[in-house]
Structures are given as C-alpha cells and as structure tokens.
Amino acid sequence: MEKVELLLPAGNLEKLEYAVNYGADAVYLGVVDFSLRAMRKGELITFENLKTAIDLAHKYGKKAYMTLNIFAFNKDIKHLEECIEIIKDANPDAILVSDFGIINIIKKYMPDTPLHISTQTNILNYECVKFWQDMGATRVVLARELSIPDIAEIKNKVPEMEVECFIHGAQCVSYSGRCLLSDYFTKGERISNQGNCCQPCRWSYKLVEETRPNEYYEINEDAHGTHILSPNDLCLVHHLKEMIDAGVDSFKVEGRTKSLYYVSAVAKTYRAAIDELYKNPSANMDKYFYELKKVGNRGYTTGFALGNDSGGYSYDLSKGLAGADFLFEFHGKEKINGNELFLVKIKNKILPNDEIEIISPTEQFVTKILGIYDENELELDVGNTNAEVYIKLEQEPQDYKYAMARTIGIKE
C-alpha cells in the first residue's frame, strides 16, 4: 500500500524549501493573482519565478501543486489566458481549481495536467465526487465538515478518485471561504475569495441595542470582548491512523501565510508521526500532539472529524498562542579570530546562558547559548529581535543549514 502523502503549504520560495526538507512529500503554491492567500513576506511566488519554485520542489524529488482556486471574474479569465503559457512551461504536477471557467481554460490549454478540485467547492458526498470524476478530475479536497466515516464511505463509493483532507491548521467560520464578511467590512477592498480575507471572524465583538447606540454590552464576561465567530485550529494527529484506514490519499496542512518556523515544525512533527504509524499502527500520538502545541494555535479541535462537534470555537481568543517561541534561524557558520561561530537572525530576544531547543530536519535537542557576539567578536549582553549576531552553542547542530531555535517547553 502506498504511503499517504504529506502536503504542506509553500507561501514563498523559502518556505517551500524548508517544507520539503522537513518532510513534506508535496507542496501547494499559488501566484498572487490567482491564489486564495495573499502573501506579503519573503520571496513571493510570481509568474516570473513560478518555474523556479516548481523546479526547486522537483529537485528534491517532491511534487508541486499550483492553486488557481479563486472565484474568477471576467478580468481574471482574461488574465489567466494571458499567462497560461507561463504556467504550462512551469509544469506543475497538478492544478487546484474551484471555478468552472478556470477549469475550462486548463482543460483547453493544459489537457494532460491533473486537476485537483479545491475545498472551495464544498464536496460533502460521493455523488459530488463522481461528478468531478466525470469532469476529468483526479483528486478532490473534501470539505472539513465531513466525519471520518463519511470520508471512508466516499472513498469506498469512488475508489479511483484520490482524496485529500485537511489534518491541521486554521479553520474558516464559513464553508471553506464562502464568506462575505471581509468584503463587507472593507467595502470590497479585501475580498475573501480573491485571496485577501482580513479575517473578521477573528475580531472582538460587542453587542449594541439599536435604541441605545452608544451603550455597548459584553456578550460574556471577557473584558476584551467576545470572539463569537473565531474557530479553533484543527489538529487530527491523534486520528491519522483512522484517516489512513478510511482511504485518505493526502494529508493537507493549512498555512501559506504562517511563519517559516510554523511550516517547518509542523512538517517535521507530522512526518515523524506518519512514519511511526506505518511501522507501528498502534503507536501513541501524544508526543506529537505535545510538539504541535509548541507552534502557534488558537486552541486545538478535532473539528467535524469525529462527527460530534460543530468545528470548535475559541470564544476567548483570536490570536495564535504558541507553547514555544521561535528564537532564531541559522544563516551560516564562520571562523572569527580562530573561533567557529554561527551567524543567526534573531526572531525573539536571546540572552547568554539561555537554554534553548534546536530543531532541524534530522535533529532535535536542548542546548545552551554560551556567548553572543557582534561582527567584531565583541561579546553582547543581549541579542535583540531582528538583529544578526554570532553565537556559540554548547552543542552544535550538524545539519545547521535549515536548523532553527526555540524556547523550551509549553507555557501554561
């Protein structure tokens, strides 16, 4: 039996490279104009470097799926036709779609490229899957609102169709992005299904009675307001075996706008969990859940997977909370005045003698910062956020190219 695919987001070129090195079998990526996530940081993936990005994934023996899953207006169709030769030349392993017009364009110009049907189409039943199969699709991304038994029944009814399911990450308050809140609150400047949602479901709300316009009422006793629309994050690490048994072909992690640390740590954790399950199907997943609590989250839920929840809502928070802080990434190793020191880019303040945890694609261990230095090897009392400094570690990572450091343990 072929092992389930681990599919990670590639919000930019750097995240793509880290995702595949930390264990992803495939990545999904989009150019700004046609993706449902508008990127703002790093070396963004554009039509100019799309081929470079896909070739990078292929260099590591991984697959790259391109997202063209916006709800398209006339101008988008025209723009797509103008760019279609660039996409053909980039040679993605599949194209993720939701709009019938875009499907027609891809079938016309790229008939041999596999079509994956986006979760935007809200696929909830096997007849819907059969419809997309008749349309020529090779894979469907099932709606998050399905339970594991529902998924198993779909796979049983349409065994030839590949099934992709979300296992981790943020959830939408609506059916996978079919929401107008962002459009409404920004007067059309940030349209959800054009890749630029401002996430009003994460905002804090208070109640106003219309005859008392200046009197605000708390919906509960939270002094910061109430996040009545904000879903918890999905985490199905304890149920991977059930999903494998249900016939899921690809495990998808949400998060193209998440940090480099998030993508790397989540990829590493799920890679290890999946690999252990194939060796020992009864393996306990608690240690992996502990690792996932170290990355940003809004509280975890199993969503609809067990059939006994409404998706999970975090009524008291909207910002991600992490059990460990990302401290720095490694930019190289240099010999200065006879001492070998690591050049690092600091994400959160560090101090000499701090105990930290190092993770890399092949390592994970606790060590201590023995010293922090500037480019002249003058010792520093502190390494401040966003600074580039040199450090000496008690134990050094062997695989430091993609290594990163974080604080130890889970914050209560």
> Which tens digit of pLDDT belongs to each residue from 164-194?
999 999 887 777 667 777 776 777 777 766 6
Q: How many CB atoms lie within 10 A of CB 55?
A: 13
- Residue 239 carries which DSSP code? G
Cβ–Cβ < 8 Å for 99, 72? yes
Q: Give percent above pLDDT 90 in the chain.
A: 70
> Are 19 and 27 spatial neighbours (Cβ–Cβ below 8 Å)?
yes
Q: What is the CATH number of domain 326-406?
A: 2.40.30.10
The model's pTM is 0.89
pLDDT per position as a tens digit, 92-121: 999 999 999 999 999 999 999 999 999 999
State the sign of the Cα–Cα–Cα–Cα dihedral 206, 209, 210, 215.
negative
Percent of the chain with pLDDT over 70: 87
Q: Where along the chain do its domains lie?
A: 5-175+230-301, 326-406
According to DSSP, the residues that pair with 330 across neighbouring strands are 344
Instruction: Determine the pLDDT at residue 412.
Output: 46
Whole-angstrom Cα distance, residue 398 to residue 24?
21
**Residues in the chain, total:** 412
CB 79 within 8 A of CB 49: no
Can you read off the two tokens belonging to residue 83?
Answer: 């760019």
- Burial label for 84, CB within 10 Å (0-12, 13-18, 19+), is middle
The whole-angstrom separation of Cα 279 and Cα 282 is 9
- Which among 109, 53, 55 is positioned nearest to 80, based on CA atoms? 109
How many Å apart are CA 204 and CA 300, to the nearest integer? 19
Report the range of poorest mean pLDDT among 6-15, 98-107, 196-205, 328-337.
196-205
Looking at domain 5-175+230-301, does it have CATH number 1.10.238.10? no
